[in-house]
Amino acid sequence: MPTAAPRPVLTAGQSLCDHCTAKCCKYFAWPIEKPTARDDFDYIRWAMLHAQTTFFVEDGDWYVLVHTTCKHLQPDQRCGIYYTRPEICREYSTDNCEFDDHYVYEKYFETPEQVAEYVEALFPPRGRKSIRNERPALLPIVG
């Protein structure tokens, strides 16, 4: 199995794919509408009850992330249908691939419990007043 080497170690003309662990073939992510209500977060919690589903926020945009390996990924981390691969794969370039990226997202939810905790911080519990204080009024501007 290939091991990831830092990009600068690769010599000119050498294929990055020869050293890749195929990160891009082991998940897919789709943008979703930004959740704004308690019910929106309940759908997120429901989706997360299905294995290998997480959510993240990047540049203010929300995404569902499904951790699953492409069924055509070969043991050598190469594509088993390279010549007939989907257009999205054809358009993907090693110029901006995530070969040596280590992402840190604005928000990353790995469990439904994390979403529930986040919702409780955003919205008061159903049928009860929030334990948080009301936002104080702004101080007057003194001239």
pLDDT computed for residue 6 by the predictor: 55
Domain that holds residue 84: 21-122
- 64, β-bridge pairs: 30, 55
Output the pTM of the full model: 0.72
Is residue 35 one of the residues assigned to a domain?
Answer: yes
Each residue's pLDDT tens digit, 2-40: 555 555 566 777 677 777 788 889 999 999 999 999 999
pLDDT computed for residue 127 by the predictor: 67
Is residue 136 one of the residues assigned to a domain?
Answer: no
Each residue's pLDDT tens digit, 42-61: 999 999 999 999 999 999 99
Quote the number of domains for the chain: 1
Is residue 96 one of the residues assigned to a domain?
Answer: yes
Is residue 10 one of the residues assigned to a domain?
Answer: no
Each residue's pLDDT tens digit, 74-125: 999 899 999 999 999 888 877 777 776 677 899 999 999 999 999 988 887 7
DSSP codes, 28-39: EEEEEPPP-SHH
pLDDT computed for residue 92 by the predictor: 84
pLDDT computed for residue 27 by the predictor: 92
- The values of phi and psi at residue 132, to 5°, are -80, 145
Q: Please tell me the distance from the alpha carbon of residue 14 to that of residue 90, in angstroms, as a whole number.
A: 19
Picking from 28, 41, 13, the residue whose alpha carbon sits closest to that of residue 107 is 41
